[in-house]
Amino acid sequence: MIQFDHELMIPRDPATGQPTGERIHKPLCFRKQYDKASPLLYQALCTGERLTEVEIQWYRTMMDGTQELYFTHTLEDAVLVNIHAEMVLATDISLDFRDPEETICMTYRKITWEHVVAGTMSSDDWQAPVQA
């Protein structure tokens, strides 16, 4: 994964700070190089396939050089809503050349955030009522 972008918000009145509407989950987007999953992602987008579960695992490099799984995003009932493909064509060999990349965006019914190392977890299901 090259880039990750996800935004959540609750609309609020600027004068009072009070909520003016329901929470809004914007599409979760990530950028990656073309790989063997690319054709399958295009197919899922074109057919409107509902992905029962999508798990994004985050790893970090430890002091000893090993990789540690420390965070996950789990999406339930995800649907791809956009794929944007891009490739920089470098005609000058002094310029950096990058392989083709694509940005994948998806919406979902439920998202779970888990800090695996700390053992903390939270989730939101936009079909469920807000718990005060």
Nearest to 85 by CA among 20, 39, 19, 23: 39
So what's the pLDDT on residue 131? Answer: 64
Please give the class, per CATH, of domain 3-125. mainly beta
So what's the pLDDT on residue 117? Answer: 97
**No. of helices (H) and no. of strands (E), the chain:** 1, 9
So what's the pLDDT on residue 63? Answer: 96
Q: By the 8 A CB rule, do 83 and 42 touch? A: yes
Residue spans of alpha helices (H) in 8-94: 38-47
pLDDT (tens, 9 = 90+) of the chain, 132 residues, equals: 899 999 999 999 999 999 998 889 999 999 999 999 999 999 999 999 999 999 999 999 999 999 999 999 999 999 999 999 998 776 666 666 678 899 999 999 999 999 999 999 999 998 877 665
User: Which residue ranges make up each domain of the chain?
Assistant: 3-125
H-run or E-run covering 76: strand 67-86
So what's the pLDDT on residue 94? Answer: 62
pTM: 0.85
So what's the pLDDT on residue 132? Answer: 58
Other Cβ atoms less than 10 A from the Cβ of 75: the count is 20
